[in-house]
Amino acid sequence: MNKVSAFSSRNFKEIIRDPLSYIFCLGFPLVMLLVMTIINDSIPPQTGMTIFRIDNLAGGIAVFGLTFVMLFTCLNVAKDRSGAFLVRLYATPMRSGDFILGYVLPTSLLAVLQILITLAASFIVSLIVDVELNPLGLLLALLSLLPTIVMMIACGLLFGTVFSEKAAPGLCSIVISLASFLGGVWFDADGLGGVMLKICEVLPFYHAVKAARMATALDFGGYLPHLLITLVYSAVVTIAAVIVFKSKMKADLQ
């Protein structure tokens, strides 16, 4: 466990000492939260459009923020792989499991902190705009997002292992865009219906956002399937990331 905690501590410091991680992991989601709240305030009530209301935004923005945790996990892994640093560590008694845990644990902590800050900011905004947000609902939203945290970090590990330092950020940008649009963060996927909804339902992001929103609203009718789908996706992506990381490490040492 010494090896894991030493490597985790290094990865935690590497990420939090990069100013971009604050801008993207924290600043950007909070700015979007405020901007969308202002936009919501400008939407005439008679349109009946509630997608940008804070009780809907909170869960969506939390999922959106997690995509940046994926990006920074990916960058951390890809950077290490492109330099000689991992070569040095490969020559130590560290095993593949130590590397994986060392990458995953600090980013999991960062992800939980990010969600806590996002949900706390949402609660403050809800008091300002006078929309009821139940603190218990926010806590349950955090718990509902645990599988999504695992999935996003596993995605980061997977992309960082497979792609180069230059290619990985581009690929992550595609996933960030897909997650925010096809997750229904910025539009009402259910209201749209048709093929678009079908596409959203195939991917995990829509279900992650739905589970978080339903938990926030303490509305558990039909909640479980959304949670189960994100659980299945996170399990599949995690298994894929572990297999790919281990086989890449084995190939590096051939």
Partner 1 sequence: MNAIETKNLTKRYKTKTAVSGLTLSVAEGELFALLGVNGAGKTTTIRMLSCLSKPSDGECFVCGHSCISEPASVKNVVGISPQDTAVAENLTVLENMRLICGIYGFSPEVTKRRIDEMTGLFKMNEVLNSRAKTLSGGWKRKLSIAMALIAEPKVLFLDEPTLGLDVLARRELWSVVEELKGKITIVLTTHYMEEAEALSDRIAIMIDGNLAALGTLAELEAQSGESGLENTFVKIASQFGKGGVK
* In the complex, least distance from residue 107 CB atom to partner 1, rounded to whole angstroms: 15
Residue (4 or 231) nearer to partner 1, CB: 4
Nearer to partner 1, 13 or 198 (CB): 13
CB of 49 or CB of 94, closer to partner 1:
94
User: Least distance (Å) from partner 1 to the CB of residue 92?
Assistant: 5
Considering beta carbons, is residue 3 or 53 the nearer one to partner 1?
Answer: 3
Cβ atoms of 104 and 6 closer than 8 Å = no
Least Å distance between CB 238 and partner 1? 24
CB 246 → partner 1: shortest distance, Å?
A: 15
Q: By CB under 8 A, name the binding residues for partner 1.
A: 2-3, 5-7, 9-10, 13-14, 17-18, 83-85, 87-94, 252-254
CB of 66 to partner 1, least distance (A): 22
Compare residues 165 and 201 and give the one whose CB is closer to partner 1.
165
Interatomic CA distance for residues 35 and 24, integer angstroms: 15
Least CB distance to partner 1 at residue 7 (A) = 7
Residues 197, 14: Cα–Cα separation, whole Å? 39
At a CB cut-off of 8 Å and minimum separation 6, what does 51 contact?
57, 186, 187, 188
2 vs 46, beta carbon nearer partner 1: 2
